């Protein structure tokens, strides 16, 4: 399970028609798709067709973005479990907004599986899937720094932008530090279940690990920040974002997305 943050960032520097689209457009597109998906009625089997249509559209965009299959698989593998839990629960639950339940099976302990519950579970999972796909597409085709500057152009307050940038930068520092500390311990035969040493000592070491992780990352981060200052960085200089023109392909893709959403809504009745 090694998806380092650098690798994640790397994918965003590919060259493809999708990567080239203006960041603002990509953000708005993503929001439009997510908001539409979430807005679909709670219990309507037609939803599944609409969501399916959107999912196909997103997959096509991913293909145009030339994202590697193994990379995408990893991204989905990380994201999907978050939504699975609650969805998998639905068939057993009596949703308050559903009047009649058709019982499909009765399990031991009197747990009943209802068709409506199952349908609702499938629908929220489908919604979740579409939203995740949209987010993965966005975050795989736009570098963090550009995401921030695009969000700035869309009105993100500069303090948030600055702190967000710093945070992303320190992600790498922290990640690195974690690796270093683990190596340091491994080299010297540290093992949590080691029976040669008192339990108390091991617990203490875990505590030290967490504290040195934070303190050393912080100090490393501070030194890095100082060296950024040395190279002429100051908070205001960074926050300046130049103007950027929206081009014809940008408008095209945005219109296409809205059109697809409209088509899903109007055609699939």
Can you tell me which of 53, 174, 253, 257 binds other proteins, judged by CB under 8 A? 174
Q: Judged by CB, which is closer to other proteins: 101, or 170?
A: 170
- Rounded Cα–Cα distance for residues 142 and 133 (Å): 14
- Rounded Cα–Cα distance for residues 205 and 16 (Å): 47
Can you tell me which of 48, 49, 118, 168 binds other proteins, judged by CB under 8 A? 168
Contact characters 15-44, other proteins, x per CB under 8 A: ---------------xxx-xxxxxx-xx--
Q: Which stretch binds other proteins (CB under 8 A): 52-60, 107-115, 126-134, 246-254?
A: 126-134
Q: Which residues contact 127 (CB under 8 A, 6 or more apart)?
A: 37, 38, 40, 47, 51
Look-up of token digits 């699939």: 268
Can you tell me which of 78, 113, 122, 241 binds other proteins, judged by CB under 8 A? 78
What part of residues 53-72 is at the interface with other proteins (CB under 8 A)? none
What part of residues 204-263 is at the interface with other proteins (CB under 8 A)? 205, 207-235, 237, 261-262
Can you tell me which of 159, 247, 249, 255 binds other proteins, judged by CB under 8 A? 159
CA-based nearest residue to 85, from 127, 52, 121 = 121
Element (H, E) at 104: strand 103-107
In angstroms, give the least distance from the CB of 1 to other proteins: 4
Q: What are phi and psi of 112, to 5 degrees?
A: -110, 140
State yes or no: residue 170 binds other proteins (CB under 8 A).
yes
CA-based nearest residue to 130, from 206, 41, 62, 33 = 33
Say whether 113 sits in a helix, a strand or coil: strand
How many residues at the interface with other proteins, by CB under 8 A? Answer: 124
């Amino acid at each position: 399970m090694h998806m380092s943050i650098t690798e994640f960032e790397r994918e965003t520097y590919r060259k493809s028609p999708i990567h080239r689209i203006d960041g603002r457009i990509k953000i708005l597109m993503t929001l439009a798709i997510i908001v539409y998906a979430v807005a679909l009625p709670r219990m309507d089997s037609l939803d599944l067709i609409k969501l399916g249509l959107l999912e196909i559209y997103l997959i096509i965009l991913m293909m145009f973005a030339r994202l590697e299959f193994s990379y995408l698989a990893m991204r989905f593998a990380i994201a999907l479990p978050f939504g699975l839990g609650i969805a998998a629960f639905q068939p057993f639950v009596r949703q308050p907004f559903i009047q009649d339940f058709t019982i499909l099976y009765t399990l031991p302990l009197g747990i009943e599986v209802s068709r409506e519950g199952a349908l609702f579970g499938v629908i929220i999972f489908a919604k979740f899937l579409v939203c995740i796909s949209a987010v993965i597409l966005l975050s795989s085709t736009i570098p963090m720094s550009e995401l921030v500057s695009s969000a700035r152009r869309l009105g993100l307050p500069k303090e948030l932008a600055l702190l967000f940038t710093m945070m992303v930068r320190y992600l790498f520092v922290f990640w690195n530090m974690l690796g270093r500390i683990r190596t340091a311990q491994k080299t010297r035969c540290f093992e949590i279940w080691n029976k040669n040493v008192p339990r108390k000592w091991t617990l203490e070491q875990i505590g030290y690990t967490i504290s040195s992780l934070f303190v050393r990352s912080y100090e490393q981060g501070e030194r890095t920040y100082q060296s950024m200052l040395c190279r002429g960085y100051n908070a205001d200089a960074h926050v300046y974002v130049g103007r950027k023109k929206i081009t014809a392909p940008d408008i095209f893709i945005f219109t296409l997305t809205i059109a697809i959403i409209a088509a899903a809504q109007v055609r699939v009745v």
